[in-house]
Structures are given as structure tokens and as C-alpha cells.
Amino acid sequence: MRSLGELHPLSVFCYFAGVMSVCMLSLHPALIILSLLGCLTLLLLHNQVKARTLAASLGLFTVLTLLNPLFYHDGITVLFVINDRPFTLEALLYGAAAAGMILSMVGWFRLLSRALTNDRLLYLLGRLSPRLALMVSMALRFVPAFARQGQRIHQAQQGLGLYRGDNAPDALRGRIREFSILTTWALENGIVTADSMAARGYGTGRRTSYAIFRFTRVDALFMLFSLALTAVTLTAILSSALKFDYYPALTPPADTLLARAGLCAYSVLCLLPALMEGGERIRWRCLQSRI
């Protein structure tokens, strides 16, 4: 079994669409915990979890959790009262669930950007809409290009002695001048790009593309398995088997067979890439030990 980044772009897109759609459609605490656990495990395998990032995530989780009971006072379990406004347990838990959903979505999107690189995204969108694929690829290219050009302009302004950051007015004027130069460069670069595409005959004939991706049996099995797990979980959510009510009182769903199936399916779906990559690493170490 290959890792997630080595699978076909269509299989990777179907997987992320399934796992993130379930996370967005339900605020069931168990589903949110499973989503956070899945993306955190995969981020740890990729060495993308740093102490600063973890601290910022915990701070954001705390802020988002406390914001909800400060503005919404529904619920029957009053913890304390501030200025005649009740601080309820239900609002606090709802804020924690919403914050967990937001953090898990940020983690999954981070993994998505790693698994679906620019060429893979261009391959997917190019089959549906070549113009949309072109716009997305140009946007993805121009964002880092603008950052690099802005850094060059800033260094050039400092080298010429035109930028002084010792006081606020001079720093503000310098930043405005740099932004004006960067905007002019962006407009000129757009004109040059359009002229270059017109000179090469873009849009005058049928557009062809070349792709190095092959849809193998492993890709088909992974995509079908992911879609089947997603379908089971969505069926449990849409049939209210995993409906968790926070207001006016905490009302967990009934313990039914469909609810258990949905939780089990989503747990396997969230941990599937981690199990794949963990198995690959264990297999690789076993092969190295035999040398």
C-alpha cells in the first residue's frame, strides 16, 4: 500500500472530500474528536507539529470556546452569572465543539495542500474546466511570486536609503511606496503574461494535456473504501442517528446499531492514511533489518 501523497489525485480528493464533509455536517463530540485525532496523527507522521503551532492551536481553541457562552446564553445548566448574563454549560460545550471542528478543518486543509500539490490540482481541474485550472495555477504561482518580489523591493528601498523605519511616519510612507511599486509590477507582469499566451496561440485550438498519473487498482480500492466509509457515516448523520443536541439541554443520540456503525466507519476513515503510512514505515524498517 502506498502513502497518501503517492495515490492518484482523484482518490486523494475523494478521501479529503469525505472526511471533511462529515466533519462539517455534524457537531457530534465523538466525530470531532476522531477528526482531530486523525489529522493530528497524520501531521505527527509528517513532522509538521511544532511546539509553537500546538500552542497557537490551543490558544485559538480556548478563545473560540469561551466566546460562545459570552454571547449566547441558552442552556439550562448555569455555571455562574456575569452582569446578569448566565454562563451556561451547554453554550460552553457547543463552543468547544465548534472550535474543535474549526481546528480539525484547518488541519485537514493543511494535509490537503501537502497531498494535492499544484500539478495534481491542475490535473484534476484541467479535466473539468481548463480555464478554471489555468486561473488556479496562475493564482498559486503569483502568490509566492508577489511575496518574493515584495521582499526584493523592500531590500532595494533599504539599499537606496529611501526606507527609514526609525519612526512610524517614515515607515508608513515606505510601505505605501513599496505597495505602489509592487502593484505596478503586478499589472505589468499580467500584461506580459497575456501577450505571451496570445503569441503562443492559447485559445486558438483544442487544448491538450499531459499527465503522469495512472489510476491503478490500489487507487480504485482506496477510493471505493473511502467512499463506502463516508456513505455509512453520512447515512447515520442524515438519519439523525448521530444527532447531538446542545440546547436547551445536552441530549446525546440513542445508542443504536446505525450510530455505532457510523462512528466505527468514521474512525477508520480518519485513521486510514495514518495506518497506511505507519504500515509502510514498519515494512521499510523490517526490510532494512534484513540487510
What is the DSSP annotation of 56-74?
HHHHHHHHHHHHHHHH---
Question: Shortest CA distance to 233 belongs to which of 19, 16, 14?
Answer: 19
Cell of 65: 470556546
How much of the chain is in helix, strand and coil states, percent to nearest 5? 75, 5, 25
Question: Which residues are CB-contacts of 48 (< 8 A; sequence separation ≥ 6)?
Answer: 110, 114
pLDDT computed for residue 257 by the predictor: 92
Quote the pLDDT of residue 237. 92
Q: Which residues pair with 245 in a beta bridge?
A: 251
- Per-residue tens of pLDDT for the chain, all 291 residues: 467 778 888 899 899 999 999 988 888 999 999 999 999 988 888 777 788 888 888 898 999 898 888 887 788 888 888 877 888 888 899 999 999 999 999 899 888 888 887 778 778 877 677 677 777 777 767 777 888 888 898 888 888 777 666 677 777 888 888 889 888 988 888 888 888 878 877 767 666 666 778 888 988 999 999 999 999 999 999 998 888 888 888 888 888 899 999 999 999 999 988 888 877 777 778 877 877
Residue 207's pLDDT is 65
- Give the tens place of pLDDT for each residue, 122-145: 788 776 776 777 777 777 677 778
Residue 49, all three cell numbers: 507539529
pTM, two decimal places:
0.75
The Cβ of residue 196 has, within 10 Å, a number of other Cβ atoms equal to: 10
User: What's the Rg (C-alpha) of the chain?
Assistant: 25
